[in-house]
Structure 1
């Protein structure tokens, strides 16, 4: 694996981790996570590399090894989509596939709606309700940030706070990012026309119904793998499903 840093649209440094050679696959991780946690640690990037793909894994701003600016002005509307476009432009990606998990899935969907055109798309850990109900989801995480030092076991925010501690999340930057992410109109889902895999844990409904999301997309299939929202990404089955779909 090698890592490079690109400057995004506003100069914020975005760390991009790359593994393998072959057809490019851009992988977007989830909230409070990182490329390493979502794609490398549990072997998904290696499976892609072994199958003849190049796994290209940016850390979102406010995450991982990327910049974590504390100014609210560094988080304009569509900031993550603009970062994705900056990565695509800097790496001169043309014919590629796009994969996103949870917040990364929302970002992947929003990027396609904004004009990004991958050959194939994987939306993992996603449900239809996560598109236009983001404010409620964001409010939960903002509350967890604001009560970070008060949350105890048994609190509904306990798992979120525990994960933030594990990932050493910059809470100032993360809070700005949460406030910047926009709703995605359900009518815009029809603009996602490329073959799409909706991939979700059997016990994961954190972001709504994956069945409804698959039904709303013009050209989608649904695949369930073992696990909850937190555990499904640790399952080999998730990486295997991504490889199989992109290899069709």
Structure 2
């Protein structure tokens, strides 16, 4: 991966393919490669004649690790994405984020919508609108000496997933403890882009995407049967729904 510096933070990034640019933002505790490369998204989008831009969020993968929760606000993480676009000379791009990455993507669309065309918000739903439930348990699990004894299944799952990717657990814990507002959907009404909100029917972390989409004028909600939060990106039906949406809009 290549690196560029944004306000003292080194952001690892990659670009693949030619055509209309599309920026992909991965989820919490993941990496660009695990969310977008391993699951076939980069290959599918480059075949669809798109220039795909991926990057590791601060605190994740090959990007700079930070240990103060204040360094992981949505404004700062969205700022990294905009700085990357500027660094690459990309004036306008399509945008897709998954889970925490979808929250960052929604912030970008709400406050910098002119920089983006179609927007896909994956792995978010009704439960994503209310605060940051469970992040305290997740942070504590990441800070624990080992995964043994972690009772909460969600927290244990994130710990084991992060360990499997060789992530910096302390940096991820700081990210999980970042300040978030009580209504994480407060700015959704500002979005004027063409938007799809999509989640798996068994995604207990996100919940129903319908109420989330209802806050965005004209947004389309899509539920993919039989898949949950951790496996949605690899699900062929999930990918097919997004690719059909992209083909119908751009």
Q: TM-score, normalised by structure 1?
A: 0.90
Q: Name which of 165, 168, 191 aligns with 2:166.
A: 168
SS of residue in 2 equivalent to 1:14: strand
Given the alignment of the two structures, is residue 68 of structure 1 paired with residue 71 of structure 2, yes or no?
A: no
Q: Name which of 137, 147, 150 aligns with 1:140.
A: 137
Q: Name which of 88, 91, 112 aligns with 2:88.
A: 91
Q: Name which of 109, 125, 135 aligns with 1:127.
A: 125
Cα 1:124–1:185 change in 2 (3 A) is: closer
1:77, distance to aligned residue in structure 2 (A): 6.2
Is residue 131–residue 180 contact of structure 2 (8 Å, CA) maintained in 1?
Answer: no
Given the alignment of the two structures, is residue 206 of structure 1 paired with residue 202 of structure 2, yes or no?
A: no
Cα 1:198–1:228 change in 2 (3 A) is: same
**Residue deviations 1:133-175 (CA, integer Å, cap 9, x gap):** 12x2321311211335153486423212211111112122112
How many angstroms apart in 2 are the aligned matches of 1:154 and 1:177? Answer: 21
Is residue 123–residue 198 contact of structure 2 (8 Å, CA) maintained in 1?
Answer: yes
Is residue 68–residue 170 contact of structure 1 (8 Å, CA) maintained in 2?
Answer: yes
SS of residue in 2 equivalent to 1:89: helix
Is residue 42–residue 236 contact of structure 1 (8 Å, CA) maintained in 2?
Answer: no
Q: Which runs of 5+ in 1 are unaligned?
A: none
Aligned counterpart, 1:193? 192
Aligned-pair RMSD on alpha carbons?
2.1
SS of residue in 1 equivalent to 2:177: helix
**Residue deviations 1:35-55 (CA, integer Å, cap 9, x gap):** 111111011110000011111
Cα 1:162–1:142 change in 2 (3 A) is: same
Q: Which runs of 5+ in 2 are unaligned?
A: none
Q: TM-score, normalised by structure 2?
A: 0.89
Matched residues, number? 244
